[in-house]
Amino acid sequence: MQNPQQAVSRTPSIADRNWSQTALTDRLGIRYPLIQAPMAGGPGTPQLVAAVSYAGGLGVLAGSDLQPEALRRAIAEVRALTDRPFAINLAAGGPAKIDPTRIARARELLAPYRSALGLSPDPLVPPELPEFEQQLDVVLESGVAAASFIFGVPDPVYLDLLREAGIATLGTATHLLEAIVLEESGVDFVIAQGAEAGGHRGTFVGHPEQGLVGTLTLVPLLAKHLKVPIVAAGGIMDGRGIAAARLLGAAGVQMGTAFLTTPESGAHPAYKALLQQGSEIATTLSRAFTGRHGRVLRNRLSDELRAHEAELPGFPLQLFLTQDLRQAAAEQGLTDFMPLWAGQGCHLCEDRPAAELIAAWVEQVEELLGMREPPEPTIGAAEWITQGLPPEALEALENPEARESPEDPDARATPESIGFTQQPA
């Protein structure tokens, strides 16, 4: 049996090296080992991607539901804002089979919500699905720093093309078997997506239930068995999470939920407000919005369709069937019908610009790892304890003699003085 000392000494020593210099920063030419998670469906704006890259992390554009032309435009927008490295994320799994019975059932189930939102009973005719190969062509011609994938493994031929173009590749795994499949197919980095993560589950081998491994377990497990570097994702909300991920053996982190409430995020204001009030038990897994399981804040749609989830079509058909419903919900500010993607750490979300958050997290990591002195307290300990106390309480603390004398019998509390009256027997 391995002794715990050996296990510890095998994790990369971050005390010897600067914590922020890892295989990830070396390969991508970024300052901090911090990736902003791709966030499809609105939150992951080009402004957010550019802000994170500008601040020294790696911004990632979510491209999975974009037609090639829209993807090209989004890339150009990021380029207009920053010349720092950024990445593009695509869905590698391939679209679900078109199943007319499931589509009809989804229409039936969604009809009452459409009517509540003032929409016609029939959803928009699903538009043509974007072709993965065409999206990949855009990535190749764009010459971005990296391409990340979720829902599966891209064909090794594509991985070779990306490698030849100098584009680093990252694949998403939710358990060890998927991580091994990704490594064998030749990706440069594996993103370990823990169960806490907000948004879609990346599970592509087995049922999503089997891919619900917590980040604290998944990261050291993958770091132990894989040769390629690991990026930790799921529940990382600040410098404490980043430091913990590095100590667990990750070469970097990918954070999504923590960026949702930044001013650069395209999340709806009503959704942003709910995130900060949210909690770990307020989240659940639902496939009602897109046809794939993802972690959301519970709302009316996720709760009411829960019992029918198995009857719905797969990704991205269900995504297109809910398209105008989601749009109408956003226009009317009705969070009951919005996909409120959220990780279990959402209660730690802060409404601060992305660059400010990154700078604060970096400081926190460096303090935690003993590389920087903690800031001087702005007030003394005694001052802190007494701050906000009413003047009488302060006087009583400073001058114990002056406290109300219990010797005065009138000052003593009696059952009657506190409103207790004995009932006659």
Alpha helix stretches (DSSP H) within 29-146? 46-54, 68-81, 100-116, 132-142
Q: Supply angle C-alpha 264, 238, 380, rounded to 5.
A: 110
Contacts of 226 (CB under 8 A, 6+ apart): 179, 180, 183, 190
Task: Confirm or reject binding of residue 48 to ligand FMN (CB under 6 A).
Answer: no
Stretch that binds ligand FMN, among 2-10, 36-44, 366-374, 411-419 (CB under 6 A): 36-44
Task: Confirm or reject binding of residue 197 to ligand FMN (CB under 6 A).
Answer: yes
For ligand FMN, which residue of 106, 196, 246, 285 counts as binding (CB under 6 A)?
196
Nearer to ligand FMN, 37 or 136 (CB): 37
Task: Confirm or reject binding of residue 261 to ligand FMN (CB under 6 A).
Answer: no
Contacts of 232 (CB under 8 A, 6+ apart): 192, 194, 215, 218, 219, 245, 248, 250, 252, 253, 254
Q: What is the CA radius of gyration of the chain?
A: 26
Per-residue contact flags (x/-) with ligand FMN for residues 333 to 362, judged by CB under 6 A = --------x-x-x-----------------
Nearer to ligand FMN, 22 or 64 (CB): 64
Contact 82, 30 (CB under 8 A): no
Q: Cα–Cα distance between 62 and 252 in angstroms, integer?
A: 19
Task: Confirm or reject binding of residue 248 to ligand FMN (CB under 6 A).
Answer: no
Stretch that binds ligand FMN, among 13-21, 179-187, 198-206, 373-381 (CB under 6 A): 198-206
The single-letter code of the amino acid at 63 is G
Contact 323, 124 (CB under 8 A): yes
Beta-bridge partners for 230: 190
For ligand FMN, which residue of 45, 53, 203, 254 counts as binding (CB under 6 A)?
254
Per-residue contact flags (x/-) with ligand FMN for residues 265 to 304, judged by CB under 6 A = ----------------------------------------
**CA-CA distances (angstroms) from residue 74 to 48, 79, 138?**
12, 9, 11
Task: Confirm or reject binding of residue 200 to ligand FMN (CB under 6 A).
Answer: yes
Per-residue contact flags (x/-) with ligand FMN for residues 215 to 244, judged by CB under 6 A = ------------------xxxx--------
Footprint of ligand FMN on this chain (CB under 6 A)?
37-40, 43, 62, 64, 89, 150, 172, 193, 196-200, 233-236, 254-258, 341, 343, 345
